[in-house]
Amino acid sequence: MAKVKSFFFCSECGYQSSSWLGKCPECGKWNTFSEEVVQAVKPASSSSKLHSPLSASTPKPISQVVAAETQRIPTGCAEFDRVLGGGIVPGSLILLGGEPGIGKSTLLLQTALNIPDRRILYVSGEESEQQIKMRADRLMGERKAESEECYVVSETVTQRIVEHIEQVRPDILVVDSIQTISSETIDSSAGSISQIRECTAEFQRLAKERSLPILLVGHITKDGNLAGPKVMEHIVDCVLQFEGDRNYGYRMLRSLKNRFGSTAEIGIFEMQGDGLREVSNPSEFLLSQRDENLSGCAVAATLEGARPMFIEVQSLVSSAVYGTPQRNANGFDFRRLSMLLAVLEKRCGFKLGAKDVFLNIAGGIRVSDPAIDLAVACSVLSSNVDMPISPRYCFAAEMGLSGEVRPVSRVEQRITEADRIGFEKIFVSKYNMRGINKKRFGLQIVEVAVIEEVFRALFA
Ligand code: TYD
Ligand code: MG
């Protein structure tokens, strides 16, 4: 009988130890070790192929390495392609993470059904073939899922997935999800750290050996990390995250790591009754149709990646009923809001300390662009004095601690887009306008240096 061995693994970084440790010597996290029974099973003949070295390569000068012209595979979905950096790179291993129910399976099945001229093998460890078919029919609606090039199979063992690949010879492999897959070479249950690590490594070898792109679905834990050790993120070429507020239909696809493209790009989708729809013009849902005379609203001209987005910021400032004022921010960093409020208090003389402040970014979207600062400050000011800001004004500037209005990146692109959409005025930092020809634009560019000036321009 094979000897039963157990090891302890760090759930953060996958560090392996033969005894339990309180603190991981690798990543320094406390209390992350858990025990797993690992029994090395003799590799079967089919799996031993998996363990062969990639190829016998010898070191050579970089000048002699021939750069292969990588032909990316377009997914047939512009938003997905954008996040990937222009399509799927052959031989790449892509991890798609996201909370349960956010739409990972839907996104990948929809891609599998619509990708032009490629054979796809969709392996699911979570759903039966009938369930996949039902979902596919739902996604295709009238047209029904009749694609001859989309193969589906319900399977949970890597060695058998390899057999299916030999048989089907797909151009792309989808595995939903890595937590349900196990390898016969180790004897621990699917979803355990050692299994996830081994399976990811096996898929990595498979992808590189056969130049077969593989899309893996990964679950996310409560605290927003990809379940399973961080090692997985080190192994794969791309880490994509699918996110969104459940209460809204909008979903965002971000790239957290991409060896073949930028990580700044995002893709936006809307979840509908028959699958995900691409949203190519995000401003359409981010700008709510509002009345001219509502106070507390301001529009920010932001950039996510290379794409301009106009986002509406709404605030409500009211007198605090209790001693400690309440602060709440939806879609915006809470500490940043506190900082902006402190600046407004100091510079504009408002007694915000005695007020409740609620902030909301329309559409349930989360932005990381600092250029949203000025719109946040102005929406708070507008609600505080109860005077509306015209919906035809927008803002693009960061704010400093002393109330100065600071320049932001690629302001020209923001102004061009604001002009195109039909805004009348855009407020930017005056330090942003050097060398920019203002006459080029139809809209009025208001250059400001400090927050007091903005306040006077809007409400005086
Ligand atoms: P799913 O792709 O199963 O999520 P995940 O794989 O990330 O766990 O998506 C499930 C949710 O999406 C579910 O709540 C139903 C909804 N949905 C739609 O609204 N429209 C659709 O066409 C489909 C297929 C799902
Ligand atoms: Mg799923």
Q: Tell me the pairing of strands 33-38 and 5-10.
A: antiparallel
Reported as a pLDDT band with limits 50, 70 and 90, residue 54 is low
Tokens 């009345």 locate to 291
Helix pair 334-348, 373-385: axis angle to 10 deg: 60
Structure tokens of 252?
């965002």
Q: Which residue is closest in CA terms to ligand 1's atom 1?
A: 103
Q: Cβ(388) to ligand 1 under 6 A?
A: no
Ligand 1 contact via 108 beta carbon (within 6 Å): no
pLDDT for the residue numbered 229: 60
**Number of residues that this document lists for the chain:** 460
β strands within 279-346, DSSP E: 297-304, 307-319, 327-330
Average pLDDT over residues 14-24: 88
CA 229 to centroid of ligand 2, rounded, Å: 20
pLDDT beyond 70 at 335: yes
Extended beta strands in 305-440, E state: 307-319, 327-330, 355-361, 393-396, 398-399, 405-406, 425-429
216: β partners: 95, 175
Asked if the model's pLDDT at residue 270 lies above 80, the reply is yes
Ligand 1 pocket, 271 CB below 6 A? yes
102 lines ligand 1 (CB under 6 A): yes
Is ligand 1 within 6 A of the CB of residue 103? yes
Q: Do residues 298 and 395 touch, judged by C-beta distance below 8 A?
A: yes
Atom of ligand 1 nearest to the CA of 100: 8
Predicted pLDDT at 425:
93
pLDDT tens digits for 342-384? 999 888 877 777 889 999 988 777 778 899 999 999 999 999 9
pTM of the predicted structure, to 2 decimals: 0.75
Tell me, what amino acid is at 148?
A: E
**pLDDT tier for residue 223 given thresholds of 50, 70 and 90:** low
In three-state secondary structure terms, 36 is strand
Q: Is the CB of 125 under 6 A from ligand 1?
A: no
* Pairwise CA distance, residues 118 & 453, whole Å: 58
| 373-385 and 451-459 helices, crossing angle to 10° | 50
Tokens 């910021």 identify what position?
313
| Start-to-end CA span in the chain (Å) | 86
Residue whose tokens read 């240096």 = 449
- Is residue 228 over pLDDT 70? no
Q: Which residues pair with 313 in a beta bridge?
A: 298, 361
In angstroms, what is the C-alpha Rg of the chain?
Answer: 26
Cβ-based neighbours of 381, under 8 Å, separated by 6 or more? 344, 348, 350, 455, 458, 459
By the 8 A CB rule, do 170 and 212 touch? yes
Separation CA 455–CA 460 (nearest Å): 7
For residue 102, the ligand closest to its alpha carbon is 1
* Most informative mutation of 216, 271, 276, 278 for ligand 1 (most atoms within 8 A of CB): 271
Q: 47 pLDDT band (50/70/90 cuts)? A: very low
Which of 106, 174, 215, when mutated, tests ligand 1's pocket best, judged by the most ligand atoms within 8 Å of its CB?
A: 106
Give yes or no for a contact between 431 and 407, defined as CB atoms under 8 angstroms apart.
Answer: yes
Mean pLDDT of the region 320-346: 88
Q: Would you place residue 3 in the very low, low, confident or very high pLDDT band (cuts 50, 70, 90)?
A: low
When pLDDT is cut at 50, 70 and 90, the band that residue 288 belongs to is low
Mean pLDDT of all residues belonging to the chain: 85
Q: Give the three-state DSSP class for 147.
A: coil
Instruction: Check whether 202 has a pLDDT greater than 80.
Output: yes
Q: How far is CA 436 from CA 300, 333, 415, 440, in A?
A: 20, 31, 11, 9
Q: Is 97 in the pocket of ligand 1 (CB under 6 A)?
A: no
Q: Are 109 and 136 in contact (CB under 8 A)?
A: yes
- Token duo for residue 146: 């009749």
For residues 119-138, average pLDDT? 93
CA dist., res. 179 & res. 176, Å (int):
8
Is 384 touching ligand 1 by the criterion CB < 6 Å? no
pLDDT in tens, 289-321: 666 678 999 999 998 777 788 889 999 998 887
Tell me the backbone φ, ψ of residue 328, rounded to 5 degrees. Answer: -145, 130
Residue 144: count other Cβ atoms within 10 Å of its Cβ: 9
Look up residue 291 and give its two tokens.
């009345």
Closest ligand, as measured to the CA of 100: 1
- Tokens standing for residue 442: 């139809």
Cα three-residue angle 32-36-42, rounded to 5 degrees: 140
How many CB atoms within 10 Å of residue 169? 12
Q: Are 12 and 24 in contact (CB under 8 A)?
A: yes
**Which among 132, 112, 107, 118 has a CA at the least distance from the CA of 170?**
118
27-33 long-range contacts, CB within 8 A, separation 24+: 27/230, 33/8, 33/9
**Residue 155 backbone phi and psi in degrees, to 5:** -155, 145
- pLDDT confidence of 226, banded at 50, 70, 90? low
pLDDT in tens, 176-193: 989 999 999 888 888 888
**Phi, psi (degrees; rounded to nearest 5) at 303:** -125, 130
Nearest CA to ligand 1 atom 9: 103
Structure tokens at 426: 């855009």
Measured CA to CA, the distance from residue 36 to residue 9 in angstroms comes to: 7
